C-alpha cells in the first residue's frame, strides 16, 4: 500500500522580484510591491508530502525524524532569516518567486530521499497564495 506522509515547516525570508533586463518602470508594473528596491519579507509556510510504500518492518513510509532533519538542513537552515537575493547562491541569478523557491526546495529535498519515494512541495508565500511542485509537473 502506498500512502502520503506530510510535514509542515515555516521560514521567514526577504526577497525582491526583479528582472535586470527590464526598465525600473516595467519591473514596478509587473512585480508591484515585490519589486521594492530595499526588499521585503514573507512568512513562508512549507508543506512537504512524501508518497511511498509502507515498510512492513517499521510501518513507516519514511521516519519523520529523518524527514524533519532533511527539511531543517536543506530548507530552514539555508533560507530562514536570509535575504534570498543577497544571501543565497540559488537566487543570485534566479528570481525568488514562490514558483522558483518551491522548485529549488523540491530539488534539494528530492536529492536526499530514496528513489522510490515521490515528493510534492507546497509553498505558501501568503495565507492566500501558494504553489505546488511535484514529479507530475516535470
13 binds Ni ion (CB under 5 A): no
67 binds Ni ion (CB under 5 A): no
**Least CB distance to Ni ion at residue 29 (A):** 15
Q: Which of 6, 40, 53, 81 is catalytic?
A: 81
104 binds Ni ion (CB under 5 A): no
119 binds Ni ion (CB under 5 A): no
For residues 67 and 120, give the distance between their C-alpha atoms in angstroms, rounded to a whole number. 13
For Ni ion, the closer of residues 34 and 46 by Cβ is 34
Which of 34, 61, 105, 121 binds Ni ion (CB under 5 A)? It is 34
Q: Which string of DSSP letters, residue by residue, matches 20-72? A: TTS-HHHHHHHHGGGG-TT-EEEEEEEEEEEEEEPPTTTS-SS-HHHHHHHHI
Indicate the Cα dihedral angle 62, 11, 102, 93, nearest 10°: -130
Asked if residue 130 lies in contact with residue 98, where contact means CB atoms within 8 angstroms, the answer is: yes
**Least CB distance to Ni ion at residue 132 (A):** 18
| 18 noted as active-site residue | no
98 binds Ni ion (CB under 5 A): no
- Which residues of this chain interact with Ni ion, rule CB under 5 A? 34
Amino acid at each position: 500500500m502506498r500512502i502520503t506522509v506530510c510535514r509542515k515547516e515555516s521560514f521567514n525570508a526577504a526577497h525582491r522580484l526583479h528582472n535586470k533586463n527590464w526598465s525600473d518602470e516595467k519591473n514596478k508594473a509587473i512585480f508591484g510591491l515585490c519589486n521594492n528596491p530595499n526588499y521585503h519579507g514573507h512568512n513562508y509556510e512549507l508543506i512537504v508530502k512524501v508518497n511511498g510504500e509502507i515498510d512492513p518492518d517499521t510501518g513507516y513510509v519514511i521516519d519523520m525524524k529523518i524527514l524533519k532533519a532533511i527539511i531543517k538542513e536543506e530548507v530552514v537552515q539555508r533560507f530562514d532569516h536570509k535575504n534570498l537575493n543577497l544571501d543565497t547562491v540559488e537566487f543570485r541569478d534566479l528570481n525568488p518567486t514562490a514558483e522558483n523557491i518551491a522548485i529549488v526546495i523540491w530539488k534539494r529535498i528530492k536529492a536526499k530521499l530514496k528513489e522510490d519515494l515521490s515528493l510534492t512541495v507546497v509553498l505558501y508565500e501568503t495565507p492566500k497564495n501558494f504553489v505546488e511542485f511535484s514529479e507530475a509537473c516535470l
